[in-house]
Chains A and B, each alone.
Chain A
Amino acid sequence: MTNERQAWRGLARVLASRRLEGPVAEGGDSGGRVYHHLTLLAPEVAAAAVPGQFVHVLCPPRGGAGGAPYAPASATPGLPFLRRPLSVHDADQARGTVGLLFWVKGPGTAGLAAARPGDRLDVVGPLGNGGFPLGLGPALVVGGGIGLAPLLFLARRLARRGRVTVLAGVAQAGDLALVEPFRRLKDLAGLIVTTEDGSPGTVPGTVVAALPESLDGLSPDGLSGAVYACGPGPMLRAVWDQVSARPGLTAWFSVEERLACGVGACRGCAIPVRTGPAGETASPPDPGRAPDYRLVCRDGPVFDGNLLDWEAL
């Protein structure tokens, strides 16, 4: 077979399943958001995965016990239907485990959150291109909210190679559990946490507001190094605006789009880019107007900021 990216498909045993709890400040709430972490035994995935890749998980039907917050009474039958793409939060090759961190947002993730140790989940992965390119220079990892999920694995790998600073932003105290794994990460040059509600011990505001200072500190001249970002679309755009104004910096973005097949077959997860891939350059009816697309599942989910068509995104 000439498939460049051999994905594994099989049943992965759930080793641990926990609702995320962290050092939630007194009275802190997460705006009703619930985050969940699963540890899967999937040695093939753990061995092959690189930061930025994802797994495509078949979600058990909703209605599991275990306090899934999705109300079955108001749920449509026949959902979840498709698999859910979840970024690799962490991978431990020695143990053969893969960590998944997700926001319990709908019927798919609610079913996953109801998984119990010993359950088996049908997983395809790792999927996606080669993930975040790991450089040797200074690196700044910027994440917002659940966009922090793929960045733990990245920060861990980067920290083995050089100087890494993490800039992590969440909306409110109740979301701080998303940041907790980064606090336990060894060898970080720095961890800056922002909260929009100004929770104690954090920088009030967003990562976007804190970014100039972090970029200044990235390298002596503030003009070299690599930025890695994942988060909501407006955050990524603001990061790109700042990074692209500093020549010499490279920036890599993990982006989201609705996925169906996950393997590049259905062409469902297109995002607009500035140039066409070789052999696939569009020859539109009105040249210069039809956009060119790449697939998040096959060509991403990590893209060079220079490639993305930020105006059309």
Chain B
Amino acid sequence: MNSGTLLPGPDLSVTVAGLRLRTPVMTASGAFGYGREYAGLLDLSGLGAIVVKGTSLEPWSGNPPPRTVETAAGLLNSIGLENPGVECFLENDLPWLSGLGVPIIVNVVGRTAAEYAALARRLDGAPGVSALEANISCPNVKEGGLAFGADPAVAGDLVTGMRRATRLPLIVKLTPNITDVAALARRVVEAGADAVSLINTLVGMAIDPEAGRPILARGTGGLSGPAVKPVALAMVYRVAAAVTVPVIGMGGIWTGRDAVEFLMAGASAVAVGTALFVDPEAPLRIAREIGDFMAGQGYGKVGEMVGLANTGFCGRRPESWADRPDQEGR
């Protein structure tokens, strides 16, 4: 830890699944579109990484409206993975994104395991793509999404197929809508995931009392925002203790202190989603606040905080911590 007065400020950089991130704060898929939507509202080059919106082989039109509802300290959404398709992304968005000098992580979605593998193959070697995030946890589509992510065996097979199709770092985004998230995480890691990210949204509902029916056209949606943070944190804690790969933590992160909680629970990096809708500069602000916290507490590197609070449920830190090459300064 820093003690002298002339030492440089805290080092915010982290390495996750082989990706070098300037800060541990990335954007969460679905909240940041393809990045360009926010150009002019924040300096995208200051982000740790950009995770783009869930992208499928063919364009998807998404769910009927209403697709969003504000809830107490939260947001319910049922977008249904509307996206213009991977070819449109490669042609229109990736060239612009890759010029930012920030790792670009492509969140991929499919209706079948074969579609996930085909996407992995299509994006493998695409210049500017730094990693893939397999979205097997969207609660708002009938096929794909959660249909794969709620069953460890099915999820494992899907990840095996993607693993064979790409050399890109492979992150698997996990659902919280499951009893044993740790078992799911272990299975996808066995199948070849280089990292796991969590949580996706929690299934929720809002009803319009005057109309006497759910507000979202599809009935249920996925809850995000500060309302879910304690749930997300507990799940990150459990998963971090269960796997040897890096964990990317997300779910209601609003402040640098929120992010530090996730790091201390065992996340090597964090993602910010819903906060962007209120504060478009949230990821940069949160990174600054992490830096301020580290300076105040005498942390020199982010890795010094990672897993600090995670003594495991049996009262001690998992032995696997020592094996984790991404945990610097430990």
Residue numbers of A with Cβ under 8 A of B are 1-3, 6-7, 9, 58, 76-83, 124, 257-272, 276, 279-285, 290-293, 298, 312
B64 at the A/B interface (Cβ < 8 Å)?
Answer: yes
- Asked if B41 and A7 sit within 8 Å, CB to CB, the answer is yes
User: A313 to chain B: closest CB distance in Å?
Assistant: 9
Residue of B nearest to A9 (CB): B41
Given pairs A78-B72, A81-B71, A270-B67, 15 additional interface contacts (CB within 8 A) = A3-B39, A78-B73, A79-B72, A83-B278, A257-B65, A258-B69, A260-B68, A263-B280, A264-B37, A265-B53, A266-B31, A268-B68, A271-B65, A272-B65, A312-B64
Residue of B nearest to A263 (CB): B37
- Secondary structure of the B side of the interface? loop
- CA–CA, A246 and B72, complex, Å: 47
A-facing residues in B63-89 (Cβ within 8 Å): 63-75, 77, 79, 82, 84-85, 88
Residue pairs across A and B with CB atoms within 8 Å: the count is 133
User: B271 to chain A: closest CB distance in Å?
Assistant: 14
When distances are taken between beta carbons in the complex, the residues of chain A under 8 Å from B161 are: none
When distances are taken between beta carbons in the complex, the residues of chain B under 8 Å from A281 are: 59
- CA–CA, A261 and B279, complex, Å: 10
- Asked if B74 and A266 sit within 8 Å, CB to CB, the answer is no
B227 at the A/B interface (Cβ < 8 Å)?
Answer: yes
Asked, given contacts A78-B72, A265-B32, A293-B82, whether A282 binds B61 with beta carbons under 8 Å apart, the answer is: yes
B325 at the A/B interface (Cβ < 8 Å)?
Answer: no
- Asked if A258 and B82 sit within 8 Å, CB to CB, the answer is no
When distances are taken between beta carbons in the complex, the residues of chain B under 8 Å from A258 are: 65-70
When distances are taken between beta carbons in the complex, the residues of chain B under 8 Å from A7 are: 40-41
Sample 30 A-B pairs with CB under 8 A, ordered by A number. Answer: A7-B41, A9-B41, A76-B72, A78-B71, A78-B72, A78-B227, A79-B70, A80-B70, A83-B278, A258-B65, A258-B67, A258-B68, A260-B75, A260-B277, A263-B41, A263-B280, A266-B277, A267-B67, A267-B82, A268-B79, A270-B62, A270-B65, A272-B64, A272-B65, A279-B84, A280-B84, A281-B59, A282-B61, A291-B64, A312-B64
- Asked if A269 and B68 sit within 8 Å, CB to CB, the answer is yes
- Asked if B79 and A266 sit within 8 Å, CB to CB, the answer is yes
Q: Which of B30, B36, B61, B72 has the most CB of A within 10 A?
A: B61
When distances are taken between beta carbons in the complex, the residues of chain B under 8 Å from A280 are: 59, 84, 88
Asked, given contacts A81-B73, A281-B59, whether A261 binds B67 with beta carbons under 8 Å apart, the answer is: no
B58 at the A/B interface (Cβ < 8 Å)?
Answer: yes
Residue of B nearest to A282 (CB): B61
Interface size class of B (residues with CB under 8 A): 35 or more
List the 6 closest A-B pairs by CB distance, nearest first. Answer: A265-B33, A78-B73, A78-B72, A282-B61, A268-B68, A3-B39
- CA–CA, A259 and B68, complex, Å: 7
Contact partner, B88, options A1, A259, A260, A279, Cβ 8 Å? A279
- CA–CA, A271 and B217, complex, Å: 12
When distances are taken between beta carbons in the complex, the residues of chain B under 8 Å from A282 are: 59-61
Residue of A nearest to B96 (CB): A2
Asked, given contacts A258-B67, A266-B77, A266-B79, whether A3 binds B277 with beta carbons under 8 Å apart, the answer is: no
When distances are taken between beta carbons in the complex, the residues of chain B under 8 Å from A82 are: 70, 75, 277-278
When distances are taken between beta carbons in the complex, the residues of chain A under 8 Å from B69 are: 258
When distances are taken between beta carbons in the complex, the residues of chain B under 8 Å from A260 are: 68, 75, 77, 277
Q: Which of B30, B67, B277, B281 has the most CB of A within 10 A?
A: B277
- CA–CA, A283 and B79, complex, Å: 17
When distances are taken between beta carbons in the complex, the residues of chain B under 8 Å from A267 are: 33, 53, 62, 67, 79, 82
Residue of B nearest to A82 (CB): B70
When distances are taken between beta carbons in the complex, the residues of chain A under 8 Å from B61 are: 276, 282, 284, 290-293
- Asked if B280 and A9 sit within 8 Å, CB to CB, the answer is yes
User: A74 to chain B: closest CB distance in Å?
Assistant: 13
Residue of A nearest to B37 (CB): A265
- CA–CA, A312 and B39, complex, Å: 33
User: A256 to chain B: closest CB distance in Å?
Assistant: 10
When distances are taken between beta carbons in the complex, the residues of chain B under 8 Å from A83 are: 277-278
When distances are taken between beta carbons in the complex, the residues of chain B under 8 Å from A80 are: 70
User: B75 to chain A: closest CB distance in Å?
Assistant: 6
- Asked if A124 and B64 sit within 8 Å, CB to CB, the answer is no
- Asked if A266 and B58 sit within 8 Å, CB to CB, the answer is no
User: B118 to chain A: closest CB distance in Å?
Assistant: 15
- CA–CA, A293 and B30, complex, Å: 17
Residue of B nearest to A295 (CB): B82
